[in-house]
Amino acid sequence: MKDVSHKRHIAKTITWRIVGTIDTIILSWIISGNPFTGLKIGFAEVITKMLLYYLHERAWFKINLSKDGRILESRKRHIAKTITWRFIGTLDTMILAWIISGDPLTGLKIGFAEVITKMILYYLHERTWYKINYGLNERRK
């Protein structure tokens, strides 16, 4: 299962980064008023977010939330993953937006705006991937 799960986590990382980057570019453009600032922030976070997301996926894969030794795949688990990922992702976006725009307030605005959009998008991404068997030898119950 270990080798196969890496493929799944890499695929999830890539698909989430596409969704997340598009969202960041649009929000950054709207908030900064400059499409190039939006593009710079969106593309700058691609590398940091992919690395952070992969590490987040690996950590959650190792977390055992059930009493019988099986990994619990449920809505509660997906909500918990959504919250922890959003904290990490928002902090990364705020820092990058501040550095790129030169304005800490712009970083805060972009970070707070994406909390809502990204949590909704991430939850939907998790639910979609829960229904996909790619990278699983068998479906865990």
pLDDT of residue 1: 44
Q: How far apart are CA 125 and CA 129, in angstroms?
A: 6
Structural domain contains residue 118: yes
pLDDT digits (tens, 9 = 90+) for 46-87: 889 889 988 998 898 877 656 665 656 677 888 888 889 889
Q: Provide the CA 19 distance to its chain's centre, in angstroms.
A: 9
Structural domain contains residue 103: yes
Domain span at 37: 2-130
pLDDT of residue 125: 93
> Whole-structure pTM over 0.75, yes or no?
no
Q: Provide the CA 66 distance to its chain's centre, in angstroms.
A: 24
- Structural domains of the chain, count: 1
Structural domain contains residue 138: no
Q: Are 107 and 95 in contact (CB under 8 A)?
A: yes
Q: Are 6 and 61 in contact (CB under 8 A)?
A: no
Structural domain contains residue 137: no
Mean of the pLDDT values across residues 98-114?
A: 95
Q: What is the mean pLDDT of the chain?
A: 86
Structural domain contains residue 136: no
pLDDT of residue 137: 72
pLDDT of residue 10: 87
Number of H helices, E strands in the chain: 4, 0
Structural domain contains residue 18: yes
Q: Are 40 and 107 in contact (CB under 8 A)?
A: no
Structural domain contains residue 35: yes
- CA distances from residue 32 to 12, 86, 109, 118 in whole angstroms, order as listed: 29, 21, 9, 18
Structural domain contains residue 140: no
